[in-house]
Structures are given as structure tokens and as C-alpha cells.
Chain A
Amino acid sequence: DAGITQSPRHKVTETGTPVTLRCHQTENHRYMYWYRQDPGHGLRLIHYSYGVKDTDKGEVSDGYSVSRSKTEDFLLTLESATSSQTSVYFCASRSSTHNEQFFGPGTRLTVL
């Protein structure tokens, strides 16, 4: 298993506040991803990174931004949290030579 950690694991915040979620991997994987998981939906890609400072949008990127200043860290920022962003957020990573993604333990975010 890829060594992927996420922090915080749980967060409750209020509408309009900024929130940053952190993903850290120890596998030196080139690719990293942020997904959200909601009841009635499959996992949906928010943003991904294909290298340091190289990022691109996924299918549900509105209201989210990302940054990757080091190979091991990928940050997801909600500039102004809304109740529709209440969800479980998963980070994943994969190497350049394999297609399978390995997931972190998730962050449960509640926006009141």
C-alpha cells in the first residue's frame, strides 16, 4: 500500500470560511488526486496533479483550488466553504509506471 495520510481527518467549519486539506504521500508518486464522495454518487475527481506545480481540473472543480509545491504534498483549498461542500474527501496517488491509484483514509468535512 502507498503511504498516504490526510489531515485533518475530521473538520467542522462554518459557511464562508476558508479550509485547507492536506495530503501527504511517502511513495514518491508523480500523480496525485483529490476526490469527493457523496451518497448517491460515485467518487468524483476534483483536481489532480501530474507533477510539482502541475495541476489540472477534474469534473467538480468549481469552488476548489489546489497546490503542489513538493512531490509528497498536495493541498486542497476551499476558498469560501459552502454547505454543498460537506462531503468526505479522499486523496489518491499513483506512480508513472502503474495505472492503479492508491487512496488515503479520507477527511470528513462538515460545513454548517
Chain B
Amino acid sequence: EDQVTQSPEALRLQEGESSSLNCSYTVSGLRGLFWYRQDPGKGPEFLFTLYSAGEEKEKERLKATLTKKESFLHITAPKPEDSATYLCAVSVQGGSEKLVFGKGTKLTVNP
């Protein structure tokens, strides 16, 4: 069964304290891995797509990386406005349109 596990479930950082969020996946064949940010009461906001091991994408203080078994979302010098829940999802080869989502990591950045 295709599965996505995110860790930790919750993370508290001080402003400026860099860290990483983990997304490990078990799928029959990876078509793509996606990172989203979700603020309370809002829909997920697309951040990155990664397709192959070794690929990296960056946007402001965020950098996403991908290996054959997991992805990391690195947050450098976070600010309070980076507080949100970060969701990881995978798309599986084989024609299915299903995205398999992890349960998310809730990030809180204190000033």
C-alpha cells in the first residue's frame, strides 16, 4: 500500500533557528512528490514539485530535497510568518490520479 509519513507531527522553533521537516514515502513507483503549505482555515498552497532523487528546489527560506525514500523541507532562518502546517504528497505511477498525502507537520516559529 502506498504510504506517506511526515515527521515530526509538530515543531516549535525560535525565529532564526533553522531546521528540517521529513517526509518518508513507500510507493510502488514515484511519479512526483509535492510540498504544500496550509494556513488555518485555508486550502493547501502549492510550494514545490520534485521528480527524481537528487533534485532540489528553493523558494525564499525553504529548500526541498528528494532521495529515493524520503524528502526534506529545510527551513533556513525561519520567521513567524513561516508558521503553518506543511503537507507532503506523492503521485504514484500507473495512471491513478490519486495524491497520497501525509498528515502534515505543524510548524510554529516564535519571535
Contacts and interface: CB of A to CB of B under 8 A. Distances in A.
Interface majority SS on B: helix, strand, loop or mixed? Answer: strand
Contact of B98 (A41, A59, A99, A104): A59
Nearest to B91: A99
A43 B49 contact: no
A103 B47 CA distance: 12
A41 B42 CA distance: 17
Interface string A26-43: 000001010000001111
A45 B98 CA distance: 7
A59 B91 CA distance: 14
A6 to B, nearest CB: 8
Contacts of B41: 106
A90 B44 CA distance: 9
Give the size range of A's interface with the partner.
20 to 34
Interface stretch (B14-22, B68-76, B99-107): B99-107
A42 B43 contact: no
Interface string A53-67: 000101100000000
Contacts of B86: none
Contacts of B31: 99
Contacts of A102: 46
Most buried by A among B4, B43, B89, B98: B43
